Structure 1
Amino acid sequence: MKDETSSFAARLKANALAVETLLAELLGPDPCTDEIARPAILFDAMRHGVLNGGKRLRPFLVSESTAVLGGSADAALRIGAALECVHCYSLVHDDLPAMDNDDVRRGKPTVHVAFDEATAILAGDSLLTLAFDIVAAPETPLSDRQKTELVLALARASGHGGMAGGQALDLAAERKTPDEAGIVTLQAMKTGALIRFACEAGAIIADAGIEDRRRMRSFGEKIGLAFQLADDLLDLTADAAVMGKATGKDAARGKGTLVALHGQSWAERELEKLVAQAEELLAPYGARSAVLAETARFVANRRS
């Protein structure tokens, strides 16, 4: 078991390094075709918001779901980098004083603290736009149809009906605590939608059939729920120094969570159920899906 865990950790770290390397290249100083210039302070802020470590879990899910279905690893790396740009843009904007008002992210000053609020807003805007640039670019080795499907799926997961809409619900939850159904909807949008996309993207990249796409999408939904449930537990129990960001925020702001509603023991049992359901979805793929199954366990059991 120790060897398996060690192997998984090494694979996760290797993928994170590959994503970080690609993002550093994409955020270099030289303009691409049809770009007029790359303002230095804006790109410094973008790099600050993106090149700051992290597990790169979402790109890892893209790569591993693609691998299970036999798709292009190069395409998966680029789509994973695009997804990470969306994720990091959301963090830059969520940290702003008008939203979550956080000063620390991954153990470093947040972008608006390191630079200023206007630059942080523009950095987030630019990262979101860059994500779709990466998907559509000729360097991404996919057909136009696949790129169109990925653009649509990523837009639906990122925007008003997904992550951004979930953040709007999250802000509203500070004024009025939602009921259980409202909490589930909020979390499925704010956190779950991008994780769902990460897994479904693998099927699109591999040009897999509708059943594979449905199965990967469902797997992503299960681990998206598990990710948020584990996050809520960590917000309640973890140390801020370990997390690299403030903890206890939800309770301080009176936000409703499933953990607050049902308790820690219920949440731990629910995480076990979600992992079992995720593994069941992967069963038809046999040994090919071992890493994805381990990812589900990692998501549920993480400590930061």
Structure 2
Amino acid sequence: MYVSRILVNGVNKDLVKQIKGLFSELGYWIVYNDPDIIISVNSINNTIRKYFAKFHNKIIINVVPDGSSVIPLTKEHSGGSLISSFLADSLGANLVLTTSTGVKGLYSVEEFSWLNGFSIYGYDRKIVNSLNKKLVTEGKVNVYVDSYKGNYILYDGYSLVDHKTKADLIISENVDSMEDKSSNRLYLIPSGIYIGIRYLESTPLDVLVYSLRMTLKSLYILNDRIDYIVVPSSLKNDKKLHQITKYYYSNIIYGSDVDERSSCEALLKELKVKVLLKDVRRAFGVITCLGVK
């Protein structure tokens, strides 16, 4: 579900450079081939002509040449609006949303999942569209939490119910074991968020908490939940780690010892985790990366 490979191109070279720098500093991969996201600094007509035929199944975002407006053209529900929102805030630009949920200021069910760090189990477009329509017309989607004790956020339009028969969305860690899965509901499961972190043992706790939160926000995950924090085994005796795990509902995984030349990403790759955000210095002495599995 999450995306991290960005192609940026357009007629305003200074603005293109600025956007590349912005996303690179957050840990995104700036690429020239096989992108997840295309940010085109151009007129909408030229952007569509250049990219739509080949990349219509990717997120395509148009930025007008003077940087005053940001417009997601495709997959607005599936990350386009979130990446565009971040970009618009950074540029001080107007964000133009066109979907029915976006116009009403509501998060679609795909966005609800993204923001909370969930994946949609057995994605069914028909059910997704039906629930987004219900969100707009009735203003409410019902959420039931089954066998899940982690953190989550209920945004406007999402209400907690006390029984699964009333639910439109069910949050669960054990969807496969459910015997009574309904074909009219969506099931959300934790995505398996891994953050690798390298830091100096003298780094204060609040700096570590801030660095981890900023890493989540860089991928537009606003839920303070990290499933696994991965650190070098040399930090096993650092008592701050246990305080962090309580705050972020995390488990600790100790990777191989790394020297100063080794990347944070190596900690995640050792676990065969898909790295989404590359090494970024979040604070003095703190480097993080993020992946999912």
Say yes or no: TM over 0.5: no
Which structure is higher in strand share?
2
Tell which structure's C-alpha radius of gyration is larger: 2
